Amino acid sequence: MGQGHQPGVAFRRCAAGHHAHRDVRGREGLPRHPKAPADFHRGGAPGTRHGMRLPGGVPGPGKVRACRIDGERRVPSGQCTRDGPGAVRVGVPGHVPRRALYRRGRSALRRWAVSDRIDALPRLAGGLLGAGIAAGTVSQFLRHRRVMHGHGDEPTLETGAGNLLSYRFSEPERPVAPDAPVLVFETALLSTAEHWAWLETALATDHPVLSYNRAGYGPSEYRKSAPFTLGSAVADLVDLVRGVCGARPVVLTGHSLGGYLALRALRPLREAAAGAVLIDPSHPAELLRSHRQAEGARRLGPTLSLMPTSMRLGLGALLSPPQWLGRLPTDLQRLALAQYRDWKLWQAGAREWEATYGEFLHHDGILPEIGVPLRLVAATRTHERDPTQAELHQEIVAAAPHGDQFLIDDTDHDALLLDRRPACRIAELISDFVTGLSTKDLSTTDPSTKARH
């Protein structure tokens, strides 16, 4: 619009020159002007549009033909038509009834909303996904830091292979003989030292106790560059016992896979090993002779291979707390849950399982040499669900110079350690066994006999 242009002036000139036109469809053009002809506006009071008052000089909705004379107003080409000398008609959207406008507005709004939602949905989903990944990553970082901190007071020992082992060693509360054996706890696959909490509490009053995390679990670090083998885990255990216990005698106590590792460590520790207590131990021939164990092993492998990467991506928070978590002492549950959701536990478990699976599948049928008294404690449900396991346990007991076996009623493999009642009963059996070692009153129970508790 040119400078100094006044719409009213143009309209007056149009009216004076009889160039004001009505729409070809019968709709009126410009709002009524005081000097416009009487028929220029149809219906309504002056200055209104069908009874609706409009701002002064502003045309209402309708197709009008605005005129300009002597070039007072410029209109882009393509929007103007000549109608007489010096007059230009400017196209403005024609009049539409209010109801039609309302319907059109709703339709346009609906189309806008749908298209906007379609366009925004990928961005929204991407934003939420990014926020979720960021939150998961931060959560994983804090969780991993909690795992590495542990209890905050564990010393560490570097093994000959370069691995760093965190451990807890406690002297008994009551005075004991200088040559009282140290109880050394060896954990199961995918387990940490916290799983021994009930046994440690029950035994620490009268016995020195050493518990630790194998390389890769909890604060312990796996630094060995060579491929992992069960032999390397045994070597770490031997280094730990020699470094912490010195010349003191030890009783190796292992659960599940830890029981088999304890058997393997008896020979290199023959000068220090006074005995062994095995709690539902693994047998190296179980994958070859037990259909139940073989099926479980085939399912476990693929799962373990995926878990470390998933945990590193921050998906650990999606893991539901394990059922056994509530069985632990309350003050350890938070740490145990952090360990369960951290990638370190699953990476260590996958590494150990790969080695275990390979060695057990190629077992030559010969058990490790057992040159010390041995006590085996098993869960009744383990033997009931898999009679082959009962046979394998019997073979281990028979291989010891002095061996016996006890069954804990109404319990399963994990509950032996994680439930307080069976753990306290096992603590009594261990104390009795250690007392028998010191008095030379070792059990000579026929290996075929099963004592139930």
Go through 94-109 and write b for each residue having 16 or more CB atoms within 10 A of its CB, e for each that does not.
Answer: ebeeeeeeeeeeeeee
Q: Which of 95, 130, 164 is the last residue of a domain?
A: 95
Q: Which of 116, 149, 182 is the last residue of a domain?
A: 149
Cα separations in angstroms, 390 against 282, 387, 397, 452: 11, 5, 11, 14
Q: Does residue 296 sit in the same domain as residue 313? A: yes
Q: How far does Cα 357 stand from its chain's mean position?
A: 26
Q: Does residue 299 sit in the same domain as residue 322? A: yes
Q: What is the DSSP code (8-state) at residue 3?
A: T
Q: Does residue 221 sit in the same domain as residue 138? A: no
Longest CA–CA separation in the chain, Å = 134
Q: Does residue 117 sit in the same domain as residue 51? A: no
> What is the span of the domain harbouring residue 205?
152-452
Q: Does residue 244 sit in the same domain as residue 324? A: yes
Q: Does residue 68 sit in the same domain as residue 112? A: no
Q: Does residue 237 sit in the same domain as residue 361? A: yes
Q: How far does Cα 19 stand from its chain's mean position?
A: 79
Q: Does residue 260 sit in the same domain as residue 351? A: yes
> How many domains does the chain fold into?
3
Looking at the DSSP bridge assignments, the partners of residue 278 are 254, 376
Q: Does residue 127 sit in the same domain as residue 183? A: no
Q: Does residue 89 sit in the same domain as residue 117? A: no
> What pTM, to 2 d.p., does this model score?
0.71
Residue located via tokens 């999606």: 318
Phi, psi torsion values for 374, nearest 5 degrees: -140, 140
- Contact yes or no for 433/375 (Cβ under 8 A): yes
- Tens-digit pLDDT string for the chain (453 aa): 444 444 444 444 444 444 444 444 444 444 444 544 444 444 444 444 444 444 444 444 444 444 444 444 444 544 444 444 444 444 444 555 555 555 666 666 566 555 555 556 566 566 655 665 666 677 888 999 999 999 999 999 999 999 999 999 999 988 888 899 999 999 999 999 999 999 999 999 999 999 999 999 999 999 998 999 999 999 999 999 999 999 999 999 999 999 999 999 999 999 999 999 999 999 999 999 999 999 999 999 999 999 999 998 888 888 999 999 999 999 999 999 999 999 999 999 999 999 999 999 999 999 999 999 999 999 999 999 999 999 999 999 999 999 999 999 999 999 999 999 999 999 999 999 999 998 766 644 444 445 555
So what's the pLDDT on residue 15? 45
Q: Which of 82, 116, 149 is the last residue of a domain?
A: 149
Q: Does residue 168 sit in the same domain as residue 134? A: no
- Residue 235's CATH number: 3.40.50.1820
Q: Does residue 81 sit in the same domain as residue 203? A: no
